[in-house]
Amino acid sequence: MKPTVTVLDYGSGNVRSAVRSLERAGAEVKLSAQAVDVLEADGLVVPGVGAFQTVMDELKQVDAIRMIGRRVAGGRPVLAICVGLQILFEAGVEHGVRTEGMAEWPGVVEQLPAEVLPHMGWNTVQVPSGSVLFEGVAQERFYFVHSYAVQNWDFDVSQPKMRPPLVTWSEHGSKFIAAVENGPLSATQFHPEKSGDAGARLLRNWVNSLPKSRPQRSTNGTEAS
């Protein structure tokens, strides 16, 4: 039985490539913002294209902030992409305007100090040991399109029972966070759906890690207890 994945449909650009890539990765995929689809799918993918503030506003319009929070609190897998990663941090600053994010992780999204922006094209990543997302592709390149990123990570590791997130880095003008793996919550600054074979393997790694929680059906068509 294929794991079910909902790609959050809230108006963020062309997400059809993400849907197709996830289907090729072995998932049963639905494009939706309906609560039943967002909350009950085995995995949720949050895409993001454009400005931090715009994405936050669009997510709020479909009640996605609350639904994403519910999934994370319940240990239900979420994969966020590009600006989808950015809004998981404390805030984003664009053109002097600060917009509050979801604050799942510490850090502020700011413009990269690079001579050429946007950072568009293929780049390498520095993957920590133990990564599930990057298994088999840690040495590969991935496709980035962005001008803003989180360039500092200050996670509180004072609580010994809390396993710190795995943080993957890349560099353009300065080091920046390219991906985070934190229990049920994973995110990439790059676009795996546009990253060729490496991106396809990464999505397959994520899909294969999903717990399949749909109820089994008995032979007479009713849900088994």
Residues annotated catalytic, as ranges: 82, 191, 193
Cα gap 199→143, rounded to integer Å: 8
Give every strand in the sheet of 175-182, ordered side by side. 28-32, 4-8, 43-46, 78-81, 185-188, 175-182, 166-171
Q: From residue 202, how far is each of 25, 85, 140 by CA, in Å?
A: 9, 16, 11
Cα gap 118→195, rounded to integer Å: 17
List, in sequence order, every beta strand (DSSP E) within the chain: 4-8, 28-32, 43-46, 78-81, 89-94, 97-100, 105-111, 119-124, 141-146, 148-150, 166-171, 175-182, 185-188
Judge contact between 89 and 180, C-beta under 8 A: no
Token reading at 130: 């133990």
Judge contact between 85 and 187, C-beta under 8 A: yes
